[in-house]
Amino acid sequence: MSALDTTASAGIALSTSGLSRSFGSLVVARDINLSLPVGARYALIGPNGAGKTTLINLMTGMLPPNAGTIALGGEDITELSPQARVKRGLARTFQINSLFANLNPLEAVTLAVCERRGISPRFWENIGVNKDAIEEAYDILTKLKLGDVAYQTTRELPYGRQRLLEIALALATKPKVLLLDEPAAGVPQEESGDIFEVVASLSDDLTLLFIEHDMHVVFRFATHIIVLVGGAVFTEGSPAQIAADPGVREVYLGKRHHG
């Protein structure tokens, strides 16, 4: 049995081994080894410039590593294109404002469902044929508490609802692992908790890794926290362990050099 097969049998949804990336002399990812169990609710935190979004870009194939491997469910996906990773069950949120501004949420999510199913996206020309896709899209919107705005134009939605729609579009790909890069960024603080309440209620089979700056949200919703500093894993552990770690506090207060 290979190491990757062992990873799969151990219930690891996504893992990286020795993942490294640099641009000339600037190191943005340094020997990163991570394992996300199936159903995990992990947070990725760190000071600005720590390399958090870079790590998401490496995992999703937007950026190739200089060294190391990435495995999804035990399968080495290091050389796969971003689209091939999506088809295997690795999704991330992305900004939807410019892409779907003139559509309503039901149209946008139905397009994503049709894309996944490999059927014509011109669903409005033959509603009968694509009725299942529309129903699936509406079900996703309902789970994310967007059913009441399914027919409103996307650009007219409150920003918090637009961020939830980004998650709905990612869920339309039927991911096994979902990477959320600051899903509540730009949303008023009183609404960010609502977004994470919805995220927390998603299927226990779905593995989540989210980047978030609001520590109240992180400690409320994450079961495990990974601290990234200078492109490397500084420490990781339960919320209680991270809260009690004086080194983490030093990093955030700027007392420790973090590259």
CATH number reported for the structural domain that contains residue 106 in this entry: 3.40.50.300
Res 10: pLDDT: 60
pTM comes to 0.88
Q: Is residue 226 part of a domain?
A: yes
259 found inside a domain:
no
Show Cβ contacts of residue 204 under 8 Å, excluding neighbours closer than 6 positions. Answer: 39
Whether 8 shows a pLDDT value over 80: the answer reads no
Residue 258 lies in a domain: no
Structure tokens, 114: 């049709």
Mean pLDDT in the chain?
88
Whether residue 140 lies inside any domain: the answer is: yes
Identify the band that residue 6 occupies on the pLDDT scale cut at 50, 70 and 90: very low
Beta bridge partners of 34: 16
Question: Which pLDDT band holds residue 256 (cuts at 50, 70, 90)?
Answer: very low
Average pLDDT over residues 53-67: 96
pLDDT digit string, tens, across residues 137-157: 999 999 999 999 999 999 999
Domain encompassing residue 69: 3-253
The rounded Cα 244 to chain-centroid distance in angstroms is 27
Closest CA to 102 of 154, 159, 179, 50: 154
DSSP 147-215: GGGTTS-GGGS-HHHHHHHHHHHHHTT--SEEEEESTTTTS-HHHHHHHHHHHHTS-TTSEEEEE-S-H
Q: Would you say residue 65 lies in a domain?
A: yes
Indicate the number of domains in the chain: 1
Residue 178 clears pLDDT 70, i.e. is over it: yes
CA distance 38 to 73: 9
| pLDDT tens per residue across span 62-120 | 999 999 999 999 999 999 999 999 999 999 987 555 567 889 999 999 989 988 988 86
Q: What is the pLDDT of residue 207?
A: 97
